[in-house]
Structure formats: structure tokens, C-alpha cells
Amino acid sequence: MCSNEFCLRFDFEFENCSWLSRFGADWCEGFLISIAHRHLQLFTHSIFQLSGVSISVFTRIIMVLLLCKFRVSTAIFCASSTSRFRDVIEFACGNWDSLNSETISFTYELPGNALCMLRSDYDLNTLISFACSVGLEHVNVSVYDGPFIPQIEDDASSQENHMMIDSSSGHQDGADMLSKYCHHEPKILLTASWAQAIRDVGQPFKGGVGQFRRALKMYSMEVGFEYDFVKNTKERVIATCRRRATNNCMWRVNATMQKINGYFYIRSLNNIHTCGAAIGTTKNSRMSSELVASLIRDKVRDKPLTRPTDVVYDFKESYGLDITYHHAWWGVDRAKNELFGHESLSYDLLRWYKEETERTNPGSIIEIDYDINTGRFKRVFVSFYACIYGFWYCRPMLFLDGTFLKGRYKGNLLAATAKDGDQGLFPLAFAIVDSEDEDNWYWFLTHLSNLLSREDHPITFVSDRHRGIVNAIPEVFPDSYHACCLHHLKGNLRDKLSGCPSSFKEMIVKKFSDCANAPSPALFHSKIAQLRQEGGDKFLLIFKEGRVRAINGRLTDFHVLMPLKHSKKVCFPYSNRRYTRLFVRWVYYSSSIIKETTWQAKEEEDTI
């Protein structure tokens, strides 16, 4: 509906009232009746004529549609000269529940006028009167959930913005909007200096033809064009724009080598592009692993374990360039070879390294094993004298473990690590082998036994129960003890209970962990009994009498064994070392019993 003249006729017969609207829509009827009921004094006006039992009313009602917009939704309020500002507030709060009637605010705009506030009945009547005077049928009203804070803008910038909108036919450029509302400083990429890589005639390149070619690549990437070589030798390089034939672009550079000093100099340069190609892009066909290596050389020197994915991200973030994983991988490899040498050639240096280490650090042991027929490297064992000497004053306990190598030639790293008095890691020996198998572990432990020949006490070894370690320790160290870390034991127990409900599985593992953490023999046997009551008989057998006597009455203090990567607290009281070893040995035997019992239970189920 709009502001029009409505001619209404109200027919009253007896006490029933019915009316007909000659103009308008159904939703206007309730509004008009409310006006009639609110202003009954209209019926006493002289324009009303009494005719029998009916009254004919001819009046003039002014109405304006308010298009109230809040966030992304719009609601229409029909305002008249009898409307109040409170009605507008109730209408808005009724349509949007998140609005608060105490803090809500309204603004509207009229053609040729600045932003106006709508805060009172006077403002509402002024809006309606002005809209009717200029013939407006509706007015856009903005609704705010809180007090409205106007944007203060100087006249010059406001006029400039209006001129920009008018000249673009109502479309405002996205970059201008960002510059208006976003005040971040523009980011300067590392490629900004590449635009000066090729400057003028006589520019020298001390690195020769290689440096000139690299500078030409960087210059073309930053400026944004492709080029072709007319001549490309070690003594002369001539390059032209790739659009020379199609667009008649005259860009051209000619550089030659000065034989006296080996420098490259630009002899001629036409540095003006007439093809229009002068916009840098994120991709360029001239990108190569050689260029990547030259840019990341310092980073690889500081961080030798740089990954290709890190290089791809850094180039996007710092240089604004998209490079492939292939270029990044070969770039890292080339940078490592230039800085640290080729990995394939480093194996030949092991013999020199062995001689120099034994000469400068007497007492160190380095054993190299290779194929006698082919001379191919197989494995190497390394232990420095400082580590050997320091281990004599550490507790007689060694942690054995292996891990994968991630270099080009892969392999495995085997290590024997102790703990010093400050609970720190103390490396004793390590080996590089092709795989973690029984033969390599036996070879490693054999050389390790030569280091421990002076040790008076038996060594306690802690491992993850690798088959090679389990089989080699009794042969190489018959008087030593072999313990297994609790973390791996619980993991193995979970694997054996894979077919059981998760609640039962965790309960058994918890009971098993309580047994290992028991601080006294009495509590230990109590926890073992509880484990059997909860179904632990399926996984634990009655210990041999000798083993039970070994624990009873002697074990007074111990800590649970954990691998170094899972726990920093691995401490055995020195005074109770002998009793602690008995418990460690029992853990190993019990883990074997669990494994054997599980196999027996499985065989019985298969038989049934």
C-alpha cells in the first residue's frame, strides 16, 4: 500500500458492524479498523451524515510503507499519521527476537539528504510528511541492535567516493572498498627486488653465465613475461620477449663474458615491453629446482631437515609464487648436496672417518661391515670413548631400540642408551644397518659386549621385545637380565584382547598396570589376586615356586620400567638393584606366559 486517499464506508446496523474497503488489501483492514476504534471522535465530525440506521464516512488517511531491514531479513511496517514511535519498536522486536527494546535504534535515508535518525514520534511524523510531500511510496529503514555510531568522513573523500560510484554506474570496485575499511599495510614480498635484477647496460654479474641466467629468470617472474633464447652459450646470451613475433615486442637483452675476469656484462638492453605483458603471476615456466635451491640454501644450512612441503608453503607466503612439490623436493636435495656433499659419496668417507676418530679420540670403536666381493657398504657400529668411559659411572642398565632413517637410502638406526645421575639420556653406542632384523641385532650386541667387558655387574637391558633382541641377549649376555617396558606390555595385552568388549579390555589392562605399580610384595600379590578374580586366569599362569620365592621378602622398592620416549622417570634404587632385577625378570617371564596362554586358549577354542 502507498499514501493514497481512501474512501471508506462503515455500515452500522443495530449492534453489528461490517465494513467494505473500496481500495487496498486484506491486511489493511485490521489496521483501518484499529484507527476507527482508537479515534471514535471522528464519528462526531460534521462530515458524517446520519441516514437511517447507517453512517457513511468519507475521510482521508495518509500511509507510508517502512521497509525495516535487520541484518539479512526485511519486514514491512505500514505507518500512518496516527502511528507512534513505540509501535515501530514493538513491530521490530516482534519480528526479530534478538532485538532489545531499550537499546534498539533506527536510521533512514531520503533522496538528496544525509542519513537521518528515527528516535521519537516527532521523527516518525516528519518522515511520513516528507515522504508524502515528495510522493514516496516506501522508505528504507535500517534497524540496529544497539546505539547507532555514525561513520565520520571528510567531505573531500565522501565526494570522491560518490563520484566513483556514479562513474561506474552504481558498481564500486572491490579494491576501493578494501582500502576504505581495511587499514593493513600492503605486504612486501621477497620478489620485489627481482625487478632490479636486470637494470642497464654495463651491469656486471660476478658469478658468470650462471648468475646472469638466474637473474634473468627472477626478472621475468617479477615483471611478468616469458622470453626465448636467441643464443645461449657460456660466452654469450641473447634473449628476446616471447611475443616478439606475434606482438612485435622489442624487448631484448644481450650479455657477454669478459675473458679477463670471467664476469658477465650486459652489452645492450631494450627494457621496454610493447606487448603489454608486464603483470607478474604466481606461476612461471622458468621456475626450476636450481632456482629453488639457490633461494633456500641459507635455510637448509640452518635447518638440514627442511621438508619440501615447508618450501612450498614458504614460497607461497614469502615470494607469492606457486611451485610444485617436484621442484621443491629436488631443490632441497640440490641445496643439501651443495652444502653437505652427496650422500652416495659420503659412504666412501667412512674409512677416513674411522681412522681420524681413532687417532684423535683413542679408545673409540668404529666397526665397518661391507660385502667383501662387491665392496658394498652394509653397516657401521660407532661408540666414542667419552661415552664408554662415562657409562662406567652410570647405573648398569641399557635401553635398546631402533628407528627408521628417512634419507634417500633409508635404513635403520639401532641405539643403546643409558641414563645418568641427573635422569638425562646418555648415549653409549649406535649403528646404521639396512633393516631391524635378528642378524643386525646380534651383530650390534656382539660389538656392544666388547665395550662392556670391564663392567663388573650384569647389565639389565630394556626393550620392546623385538624378536632379534629377545634371541640375541641370552647368547651374547648370558648373565644379564632382559626387561620389557610396561607401555609395550599393555599394548600387547590390548592386542590379545581385541575380541573382547572395550570396557572389559580396559579393566584388565588397569588391573595389570596396578600389579606393576604395587610398591610392596604384599600389595603386589593382592593385586595379582584381584586380577585373577576378574578373569586374569586366562592370561596369567601360576608362577613357578622359585620365581615366587625370589619376589617374596626381597622386593622392597622399585619403579615401573617405561621406554625413554614414553617416560622420563626411570629410576632404580642402587641399593635394591639385585631385587629390582628379579622383578624385571619376572615381568619378562610373565609377558611370555601371557603370550603362551593366549595361544593355548586359542588352540582350545579351535579344537572345540
Written as one string, the DSSP assignment of 241-255 is: ETTHHHH----EEEE
**Which grid cell sits at 553?**
621378602
Q: Which three cell numbers stand for residue 606?
A: 579351535
What is the amino acid identity at position 319? Y
With a cut of 70, say whether residue 250 has pLDDT above it. Answer: yes
Cell numbers of 499, please? 575380541
Q: How far apart are CA 482 and CA 45, in angstroms?
A: 113
Better pLDDT: 186 or 95: 95
Residues 297-349: tens digit of each pLDDT: 999 999 988 999 999 999 988 888 889 999 999 999 999 999 988 888 888 88
Nearest to 448 by CA among 438, 461, 437, 457: 461
Angle at alpha carbon of residue 526, lines to 507 and 489, rounded to 5° = 45
**CA separation for the pair 512, 490 (Å, rounded):** 8
**Cα–Cα dist 102/106, whole Å:** 12
> Taking the C-alpha atoms of 319, 323, 326 and 328 in order, what is their torsion angle to the nearest 10 degrees?
10
Lowest mean pLDDT among 2-6, 174-178, 460-464: 2-6
In this predicted structure, what is the pLDDT of residue 277? 62
Under 8 Å between Cβ of 19 and 10: yes
b/e for 377-408, b at 16 or more Cβ within 10 A? Answer: bebbbbbbeebbeebeeebbbbbbbbeeeeee
388 closest CA partner among 356, 364, 413, 357: 364
Look at 9-13, 192-196, 482-486 and tell me which has the smallest mean pLDDT: 9-13
Check if the beta carbon of residue 572 is closer than 8 Å to that of residue 580. Answer: yes
Residue type, 223: V
- 236-241 sheet: strands from edge to edge: 204-205, 264-270, 252-257, 236-241, 227-232
List beta partners, residue 139.
Answer: 66
- pLDDT at site 582: 38
Q: Which amino acid is at 507?
A: M
465-484 burial: b if 16+ Cβ within 10 Å, else e: bbebbbebbeebbeebbbbb
Q: What integer is the mean pLDDT of 236-264?
A: 90
Per-residue cell: 154: 571528510
- Within 367-466, residue ranges assigned H as helices are 385-391, 438-451
Q: How many residues does the structure list for the chain?
A: 608
% of the chain at pLDDT higher than 90? 22
Sequential DSSP letters for 255-275: EEE-TTT--EEEEEEE---SS
Q: Which amino acid is at 336?
A: K
Cell numbers of 67, please?
521497509
Helix, strand, coil proportions of the chain in percent (round to 5)?
A: 45, 20, 35
Tell the residue number behind the cell numbers 632441497, with chain if given: 332
Phi and psi of 474, rounded to 5°? -60, -30
- Looking only at the bridges linking them, the beta strands covering 63-70 and 138-145 are parallel
* 3-state helix/strand/coil string of 34-70: HHHHHCHHHHHCCCCEEECCEEECCCCCCEEEEEEEE
Strand 481-484 with 460-463, pairing: parallel
Residue 141 backbone dihedrals phi, psi, to 5 degrees: -120, 130
The predicted structure's pLDDT at residue 455: 65
pLDDT at position 360 is 92
Predicted pLDDT of residue 310 = 92
Which among 440, 413, 417 has a CA at the least distance from the CA of 428?
417
Q: Which residues contact 524 (CB under 8 A, 6 or more apart)?
A: 515, 518, 551, 555
| Mean pLDDT within 251-259 | 92
What's the half-sphere exposure (Cβ side, CA atoms, 13 Å) at 215? 22
pTM of the model: 0.50
Burial 343-376, CB ≥16 within 10 A → b, else e: eeeeeeebeeebeebeeeeeebbbbbeeeeeeee
pLDDT band for position 109 (cuts 50, 70, 90): confident
The larger pLDDT score, comparing residue 454 to residue 350, is at 350
User: How much is the mean pLDDT over the chain?
Assistant: 73
* Residue 414: pLDDT band with limits 50, 70, 90: very high
C-alpha span between 143 and 141 (Å, rounded): 7
CA distance 402 to 440: 11
List alpha helices for 452-520, DSSP H.
Answer: 467-476, 486-496, 502-516
CA 409 to CA 379: how far, in whole Å? 12
* Matching residue, cell 541492535: 145
Residue 418 has what pLDDT? Answer: 92
CB 461 within 8 A of CB 429: no
- Between 110-124, 190-204, 548-562, the lowest mean confidence (pLDDT) is in 548-562
Dihedral sign from CA coordinates of 57, 62, 68, 74: positive
Under a CB-based contact definition with an 8 Å cutoff, are residues 99 and 105 in contact? Answer: no
Is residue 463 within 8 A of residue 484, CB to CB? The reply is yes
pLDDT, tens digit (0-9, with 9 covering 90-100), for 517-576 = 777 788 888 888 888 887 766 655 433 332 332 333 322 333 334 333 333 333 333 333
Contacts of 428 (CB under 8 A, 6+ apart): 383, 387, 388, 391, 398, 416, 417, 418, 448, 451
**Exposure of 249 by Cβ count < 10 A (0-12 exposed, 13-18 middle, 19+ buried)?**
buried
Report the amino acid identity of residue 234.
K
d(CA 582, CA 554): 9
Q: How many other CB atoms sit within 10 Å of the CB of residue 339?
A: 13
- CB 191 within 8 Å of CB 320: yes
